[in-house]
Amino acid sequence: MKKLFLFPALAILGLLFFQGTPRTAVEVDKSPLAVMPDMPANVKAVVDQKCYGCHNAESKNEKGKAKLDWDAFEASKKSKQMAVMKKINEVVVNGDMPPKKYLENRPEGKLSEADLATLTEWSSGKKKK
Ligand code: HEC
């Protein structure tokens, strides 16, 4: 008899679990870059891996966030985006980003030659529409 009561309990638990799942999934996959229409996939991939961590709306890296917020970038006007891209081009070409200090502990965060080429080309705005 007792076991019958377990069923609704399990059902509720199950429901809670499944309701929770999509939310978690959204959280994990919350990179807004996925919806940035003008940004080529290869650029998104690099930014996602190498830049987004410090430069997003919820970043704990206040300085980084203040200078560049990819979340805001997406929503900003084309003219603003162009200005930001120019800055990005500068820091990437100069090798200023990701910050050297950070790379001392996270060498895997360094831009590869390919990453560098991808970001440089994109941020130079060569591919005009
Ligand atoms: C470890 C965190 C971190 C990572 C990773 C990182 N940045 Fe930054 N970024 C910062 C910080 C901190 C600043 C502010 C530096 C300052 O004010 O001196 C900054 C500043 C900038 C600026 C503004 C520079 C200026 O002078 O206005 C740009 C553009 C930028 N980052 C682009 C990038 C790009 C592109 C990447 C990926 C290749 C990247 N960042 C990766 C932390 C980071």
The residue ranking higher by pLDDT, 29 or 57, is 57
**Mean pLDDT across 47-62:** 94
Token duo for residue 101: 């200090």
- The answer to whether residues 69 and 52 touch, using CB atoms and an 8 Å cutoff, is no
Q: Which residues have C-beta within 8 Å of that of residue 51, sequence separation ≥ 6?
A: 68, 70, 97, 98
Test site for ligand 1: of 49, 63, 67, most ligand atoms within 8 A of the Cβ: 67
Judged against a pLDDT cut of 80, whether residue 6 lies above it is answered with no
Q: How confident is the model at residue 1 (pLDDT cuts 50, 70, 90)?
A: low
pLDDT at residue 53 in the model: 94
Render pLDDT for 23-52 as a digit per residue (tens, 0 to 9).
Answer: 444 443 445 554 455 688 899 999 999 999
- The answer to whether residues 52 and 63 touch, using CB atoms and an 8 Å cutoff, is no
Angle at 39 between CA 35 and CA 44, to 5 degrees: 80
**Mean pLDDT across 75-101:** 93
Mean confidence (pLDDT) of the chain: 81
CA of 24 to the centre of ligand 1 (A): 28
Token duo for residue 88: 């990005």
Residue 19's alpha-carbon distances to 9, 28, 49, 91, in angstroms, are: 15, 15, 29, 43
